[in-house]
Chain A
Amino acid sequence: MNVATQNTRTVPDHGVNAPKLPIYLDYQATTPCDPRVVEAMLPFFTEHFGNPHSRNHKYGWDAEAAVEKARAQVASIIKADEKEIIFTSGATESNNLAIKGVAHFYKDRKNHVITTVTEHKCVLDSCRHLELEGFEVTYLPVQQNGLIDLEVLRNAITPKTAIVSIMAVNNEIGVIQPLAEIGKLCREKGVFFHTDAAQAVGKIPLDVDAMNIDLLSISGHKIYGPKGIGALYVRRKPRVRLEALIHGGGQERGFRSGTLPTPLCVGLGEACAIAEREMDAEAARLRKLSERLYNGITARLPEVFLNGDAEHRIPGNLNLSFAHVEGEGLMMGIKDLCVSSGSACTSASLEPSYVLRALGVEIEMAHTSLRLGIGRFTTEEEVDYAIEHLVQAVQRLREMSPLWEMAQQGIDIKSIQWAEH
């Protein structure tokens, strides 16, 4: 198959007519690269192709200057100093580096890590890896709204705790954790605070000093930048020390060896610059669209439930449970809408989302959940089309659902002895 000939438009036009299909509503899985970002990157693929670590000629210097400009752009969006930014291959690597790097470096004095049960898989997997090495890990529960309880965190911190890793914004349900409060508590207790901000950068204001954040992970492709690039903020004062994951030429102050991909660094920098400039206006627009989407669905369908806190959330995410309709079956009925059931990393595995389960969403309800993610290129027409499509599909599937039928007849599904298979 020649994939290069598949030419489907993926970034919808801001047209006034019927939207182009399919409609992309999975902005938490990944975002299209902003055309302005692509434009900024292109010259660094062709005429300015040098290795930024070549210290001996103009090709190298040009590349290096571009990388350093990008570093400053990344630093600016989280109010950090550019010397505190390390480029990585993405937020997964940043999270691995932050958690394993800090734990390994301080292992002689501290052996305890705190995180939450709703973190991204790569944080949980890093923590499991540390457990195998003999570290102790506390997985904090979350409340029904998806947020942690600060008192529970306070009680979990011990003199042996090296690092607390709590995500800024959850990828599945979009809730925002109380970063400033967590940071304040960690600073009081003398514990490093790492936050996975892959879903937060460009969506909510972040200030590493005001929030007392010591390490912060950034992803390129979640903020309309390219895939394959991310960054880790590592505080210099008070200094955070790390053991590298990838050793070699000593690039990125020895924290991360490997030739820096200049075009990707430039892309991440530009994506941050655009996000910083446009965040307020974009958030307001997305909030309106998301309200339109939520109201449009719930006005026409009963028994639709929003997962995660209604207030403390980013505007681009709606995680909804459509009672009595199975999520995967529903996705098949709305194939013009690209949405996700559960997280993208696990949606092939057919198990209900561990994040929803952690909120106390019952397993049968978790099976009925969809994540609708809207973003920079989502239009009102697309939202209206999505509402129409979703409502019709849910209505049709409910007519076919034995559970819906029982609910209508007043039979409590829990009263039935199900043979779990």
Chain B
Amino acid sequence: MDTLFLMNSLWVMISAVLVILMIGGFILLETGSTRMKNAGHIAGKTILTFGISSIVFWAVGYGLIFGEGNSILGFSDFFYSGYDVEGLGLSGAVFFLFQLAFAGISLTIAFGGFAERAKLSVYLVFALLFSVLVYPFIAHWIWGGGWLAEHGKQDFAGSTVVHLTGAMAALAATILLKPRIGKFNKDGSANNIEGHNQVFTALSVLLLWVGWFGFNAGSTVSVDGAFFGFVALNTNLAAAAGTVAAMLISWIVLGKADVPMMLNGALAGLVAITASCAFVDTWASVIIGLIAGILVFYSIRFFESKKIDDPIFALSVHGTAGVWGTLSTGFFATPELATVGNPGLFYGGGLEQLGVQALGVVASGAFAFIVSFIILSIMKVTMKGLRVTEEEEIIGLDISEHGSYGYPELVNKEAAVKGSIEIPSTGNVPLSSQRPSVN
């Protein structure tokens, strides 16, 4: 057998494993950023919905994206049986698995907007419908030879396809679900419902950061010229720049080096470079990451000021940074690297590529949002609401949806100490008030 074929297959298989491990990153990210009483539920449903998404992708998703069809959707290769595809240059099964992982990530991102209040049944039904009616369309348009691919839309590893699509579904969900109990006060001010474990959140970022080498560098789907190394380098630089930028901007504006914000900056840098990692120079990666880190800070404040409760910041990290990342190639794509589409504005490409990128963002974003909104609205009527009852939300989804806590000893003890069920906190006790008063 051809050595290159085997090496390509091996590299993409490793990448698929890395991307699937990112599901673990999202488990830590989502549980760490939310409260203890929902931790078991969030961890469990993430695995479950990845299972659903895998089966749907095998049955129809892959065929809708990569099958023979028109510029809107593919219509062949359903129930994929593992055969090789001519001209692919690697094992068909490996390529399938790699693409399956992306579909799973997009769905997981979407569920960020559901956190801490959606019914388990809503997760199951939406996992199915999103995987058939939302993701395949956009993936086909850009990666499956659809109408945006014909325009030369640049989205190397999915700032739009995976991240923006997921974020738009999250936006539709969080609008329809409404904010969590205790998030906003009567006067419109927001409370900080702190996550229960910053260490989880930080580890999640590391896991995602490493996983992203599979996500981006693996998207070369070949070892040819070892180009994956350059893509990985750009990825790392943008993540690093996003981290530093978010920390700096939060220190400058708020006067504190905010840890969750810094972590969101790292992720925003990663999301932004996802579209452009193969098309831009290293210095541009640093700029793209820096801007993403600053954007995510203001985006989080913007959504909060609009009273949109985004528990794990999916809208800002994957949405806003996804939009910026997609547009960034329109500025920074170099003539040598732009194997798809044209060079960007700063390389004499004019506004053409930027226009294509903007069109892609608007069309994909609008499609994902509108279709998700319609699906969820219909579900809201037919399933008698998307949200658990207030009582269930207060006792936690671990108990209400699954019958046992992710942290049984700790949560039960807390309830016993308080003599009743937990009431959402409305602010943080400052360190100084926990000390004997000197003042």
Question: Do A and B share a complex?
Answer: no
